């Protein structure tokens, strides 16, 4: 990486970007941070019926935020989502950060349905269909959509300079949207939450792609710190 301190570009929805920026600051990272969400969370105003539901599945913190809390079991994609669910009263357990581990966790616990998968318009893993096929009746409620946004003018300017930019990407959809707005002139150093996120960059030219050790924000922040230390 170049001798100049890189810019860190955060493309998550604003509330998530602010939380991650706070985590970077707590780790002592002083590099400039630019927040430019490329996704906006828009409620669908769908009605949630929990009358005969024995538990729920949350595949994101946005899903937790979209529904009132209840004292019922909740299977969550990862630790951060589970923590948000517990704060609202759910009896939450965490999977390992992706749709496959979430499916495996529900399958291993073998709850009596019906369950309700509360999710966004775009979701991975076909959880409701697959769980229903193996005997765990699961319905779906789509409570928000992820509307794409263009990068801000400030972000575009940074990406078209020669100074390096570190871009943490948390989902394949975010990686696809970031790549679609390129190519960029700046040397890019991407921190990806998973191999699927890295693959979603397609043919976008990047200098470095680093995978986080775990599918969680803390591991992503550590990977960012590692890139800065390596520079």
Cα angle for residues 144, 62, 64 (degrees, 5° grid) = 105
CA distances from 24 to 33, 109, 220 (A): 9, 35, 10
Domains of the chain, with CATH numbers?
7-38+149-230 (3.40.50.10090), 43-146 (3.40.50.10090)
What is the spatial order of strands in the sheet that 115-120 belongs to? 39-43, 138-148, 115-120, 55-58, 73-76, 91-94
Please give the model's pTM, rounded to 2 decimal places: 0.84
CA distances from 165 to 35, 111, 119 (A): 12, 45, 31
pLDDT for the residue numbered 49: 86
128 CB neighbour count, 10 Å cutoff: 21
Reported as a single tens digit per residue, the pLDDT across 165-204 is 999 999 888 999 999 999 999 999 999 999 999 999 999 9
Tell me the pLDDT of the chain (231 aa) as tens digits. Answer: 556 779 999 999 898 999 999 999 999 999 999 999 998 889 998 888 899 999 999 999 999 999 999 999 999 999 989 999 999 999 999 999 888 999 999 999 999 989 999 999 877 778 999 999 999 999 999 999 989 999 999 999 999 999 999 999 998 889 999 999 999 999 999 999 999 999 999 999 999 999 999 888 999 999 999 999 876
**Cα(206)–Cα(183) distance, integer angstroms:** 10
């Amino acid at each position: 990486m170049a001798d100049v301190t890189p810019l860190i570009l955060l493309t998550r929805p604003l509330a998530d970007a602010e939380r991650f920026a706070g985590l970077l600051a707590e780790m002592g990272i002083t590099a400039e941070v630019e927040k430019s969400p490329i996704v906006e969370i828009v409620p669908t105003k769908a009605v949630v019926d929990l009358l005969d539901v024995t538990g729920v599945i949350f595949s994101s913190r946005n899903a937790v935020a979209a529904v009132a809390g209840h004292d019922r079991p909740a299977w969550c994609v990862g630790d951060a989502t589970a923590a948000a669910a517990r704060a609202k009263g759910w009896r939450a357990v965490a999977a390992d950060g992706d749709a496959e581990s979430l499916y495996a966790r529900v399958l291993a616990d073998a709850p009596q349905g019906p369950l309700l998968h509360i999710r966004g318009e775009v979701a991975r893993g076909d959880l409701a269909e697959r769980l229903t096929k193996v005997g765990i009746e699961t319905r779906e409620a789509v409570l928000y959509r992820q509307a794409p946004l263009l990068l801000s003018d400030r972000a575009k300017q940074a990406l078209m300079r020669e100074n390096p930019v570190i871009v943490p990407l948390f989902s394949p959809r975010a990686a696809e949207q970031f790549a679609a707005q390129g190519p960029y002139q700046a040397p890019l150093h991407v921190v990806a939450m998973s191999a699927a996120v890295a693959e979603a960059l397609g043919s976008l030219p990047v200098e470095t792609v680093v995978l986080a050790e775990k599918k969680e924000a803390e591991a992503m922040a550590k990977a960012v710190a590692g890139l800065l230390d390596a520079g």
